[in-house]
């Protein structure tokens, strides 16, 4: 996969990410707010309705009693005039009362419906707003999920580039073996220059004073470090101009000086550099790639990097190893110590504790990278074994006085358990560190 295609895919991913964030912001702004909902209207006033019904029926008792004699004639004359008026009034009253009674029922039903509908609508609208808010929260979780996927993709791209670089270096190593180092070094330098663009930015840095304190607390005292690094002195016996990359407080430089081996150190942390200089050690504040580029080919009598490579990005590490091959004299040694990620304790108690760690490196991976860059006799030396007290314990199948030696189900179960314990101890509680020791042919 070419860099042009990779860059285009990265640009497309960035643009899609931007559009998604804009759309998410628009959805977030569109979330509704809960308005003030009115209470149901008061119930229909039916207080006078019974009296109206009673008054209406009192008018419907029929014609008044007719008096006798001359009064009856006068009553008949008057009633013939008044009765039509009463009839019309009664018809009007009946229509009004019927209207009031009918609408009272409709108002009662409407009031009951509103009393149920308004709270239900209010609750439904509140639930809708809750859903909108949760939807936005869900959409917001997609961004970190996508970012995690992007990081995996970026790691895959980085590994792809590293594999490509390693393949190229493998071919160059083969050329060195068949054609000699001189012509191959020119090709290797050209390739390294193309692969090193922005490499210095890949070197991790830490707050100077803070990281000295971190080293003091977690890496161990100077005496402990000297004791652990003492074994590496043998690989540089009879050499001079040994380079200690990431020399830290200078413990290994002190050990070499005591043996009369001239050496110098590099460290990015100015506090560490000042500590070393105050003890008369030759230490420079620089990153490995930049420093090695300025060093003459085949001029170093050895190179050591203790607990450094786990801080480097893969492309930067590949370039550093390539440059180390160029700068080391034939027959000199390269020693690289790092955390053993195949050991559970080392990974979870050492690697992830340090925020400046970039990637764990499996022993077989580092061995292959060194071989691919032309180094020979690459040996993996495991160090810092987990104490027996820190491992899973086996169990005893039978008491020692138990005379019968025949196998029984309990014995077989214990044997199987112990076998699994041994396998887990080998995986989880083995060696906390390892060193790759290689020779520059």
161 belongs to a structural domain: no
Which segment of 54-68, 238-252, 296-310 scores lowest on mean pLDDT?
A: 54-68
85 and 195 share one domain: no
Which segment of 127-136, 254-263, 267-276 scores lowest on mean pLDDT?
A: 127-136
Q: Provide the 8-state DSSP code for 419.
A: H
189 and 69 share one domain: no
Residue 184 pLDDT level (bands cut at 50, 70, 90): very low
Q: How many domains does the chain have?
A: 2
327 belongs to a structural domain: yes
For the chain, percent of residues with pLDDT exceeding 70: 66
Here the CATH number for the domain that contains residue 285 is: 3.40.50.150
CA–CA–CA angle 161, 164, 168 (5° rounding): 140
Residue 84 pLDDT level (bands cut at 50, 70, 90): confident
207 and 137 share one domain: no
Query: CA 177, CA 83: separation in Å to the nearest integer?
Result: 137
Which segment of 219-228, 258-267, 281-290 scores lowest on mean pLDDT?
A: 219-228
Q: Domain boundary residue among 91, 114, 143? A: 143
Report the pLDDT averaged over residues 418-432: 61
Q: Domain boundary residue among 111, 143, 175? A: 143
Higher-pLDDT residue of 322 and 146 is: 322
What pLDDT sits at residue 79? 75
Higher-pLDDT residue of 421 and 74 is: 74
Angstrom CA distances, 305 to 140, 207, 258, 321, 356, stand at 43, 21, 19, 11, 16
115 and 60 share one domain: yes
148 belongs to a structural domain: no
Which segment of 40-49, 96-105, 371-380 scores lowest on mean pLDDT?
A: 40-49
For the record, the structure tokens of 266 come out as 């590099």
Which segment of 37-46, 99-108, 168-177, 244-253 scores lowest on mean pLDDT?
A: 168-177
Domain hosting residue 17, numbered range: 3-143
- Cα Rg, the chain, nearest whole Å: 46
């Amino acid at each position: 996969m070419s860099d042009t295609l990779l860059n285009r895919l990265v640009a497309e991913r960035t643009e899609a990410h931007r559009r998604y964030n804009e759309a998410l912001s628009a959805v977030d702004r569109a979330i509704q707010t809960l308005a003030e909902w009115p209470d149901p209207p008061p119930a229909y006033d039916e207080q006078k309705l019974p009296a109206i019904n009673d008054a209406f029926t009192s008018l419907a008792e029929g014609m008044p009693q007719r008096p006798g004699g001359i009064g009856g004639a006068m009553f008949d004359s008057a009633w013939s005039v008044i009765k039509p008026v009463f009839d019309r009034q009664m018809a009007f009253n009946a229509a009004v009362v019927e209207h009031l009674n009918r609408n009272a029922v409709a108002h009662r039903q409407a009031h009951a419906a509103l009393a149920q509908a308004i709270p239900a609508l209010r609750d439904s609208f509140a639930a809708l707003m809750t859903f909108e808010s949760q939807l936005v929260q869900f959409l917001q979780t997609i961004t970190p999920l996508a970012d995690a996927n992007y990081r995996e993709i970026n790691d895959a791209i980085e590994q792809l580039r590293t594999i490509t670089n390693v393949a190229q270096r493998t071919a160059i190593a083969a050329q060195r073996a068949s054609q000699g180092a001189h012509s191959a070094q020119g090709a290797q330098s050209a390739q390294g220059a193309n692969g090193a663009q922005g490499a210095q930015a890949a070197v991790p840095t830490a707050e100077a004073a803070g990281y000295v304190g971190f080293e003091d607390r977690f890496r161990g005292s100077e005496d402990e470090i000297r004791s652990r690094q003492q074994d590496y002195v043998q690989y540089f016996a009879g050499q001079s101009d040994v380079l200690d990359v990431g020399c830290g407080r200078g413990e290994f430089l002190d050990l070499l000086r005591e043996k009369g081996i001239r050496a110098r150190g590099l460290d990015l942390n100015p506090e560490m550099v000042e500590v070393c200089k105050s003890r008369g050690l030759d230490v420079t504040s620089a990153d490995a790639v930049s420093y090695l580029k300025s060093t003459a080919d085949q001029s170093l009598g050895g190179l050591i990097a203790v607990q450094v490579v786990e801080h480097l990005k893969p492309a930067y590490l590949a370039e550093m190893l390539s440059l180390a091959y160029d700068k080391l004299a034939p027959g000199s040694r390269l020693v690289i110590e790092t955390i053993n990620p195949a050991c559970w304790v080392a990974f979870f108690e050492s690697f992830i504790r340090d925020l400046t760690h970039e990637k764990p490196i499996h022993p077989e991976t580092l061995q292959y990278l060194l071989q691919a860059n032309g180094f020979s006799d690459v040996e993996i030396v495991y160090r810092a074994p987990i104490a027996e007290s820190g491992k899973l314990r086996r169990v005893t199948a039978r008491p020692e006085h138990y005379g019968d030696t025949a196998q029984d189900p309990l014995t077989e179960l214990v044997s199987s358990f112990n076998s699994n314990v041994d396998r887990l101890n080998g995986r989880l509680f083995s060696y906390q560190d390892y060193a790759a020791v290689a020779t520059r042919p």
